Amino acid sequence: MSAETKANLDAAIAAHIADECEGDLTGAWVVVTETTSLAEMDADKSAWFTATRDMQSNFTTDGLLYAALKVQRGTHEDD
């Protein structure tokens, strides 16, 4: 991902959080997407792509993904 695209993504995430959660700041973030090509779609092949905030540790990224999985499964409890 180019530095310009990543900066735009970071700015878009920060703007979204500012709109949705007044007064909150964006901390760590993870974007995960499934990718495929038209040629491989028929073969049911895909891959995945992730992007994270600059200088974000793998530990933090793993924690965000784990928390998202718990929310998706309905097992997350607010602390």
Q: 39 vs 35, which has greater pLDDT? A: 35
Tokens of 45: 């092949």
Alpha helix (H) residue ranges in the chain:
3-20, 38-41, 58-73
pLDDT digits (tens, 9 = 90+) for 39-63: 777 777 888 889 999 999 999 999 9
Q: What are the residue boundaries of the structural domains of the chain, listed by start? A: 3-73
The closest of 26, 73, 74, 28 to 50, measured between CA atoms, is 28
Instruction: Determine contact, residues 3/36, Cβ cutoff 8 Å.
Output: no
Whole-model pTM: value is 0.71
Residue 5's identity, in one-letter code, is T
Residue 28's CB is within 10 A of a number of other CB atoms, namely: 13
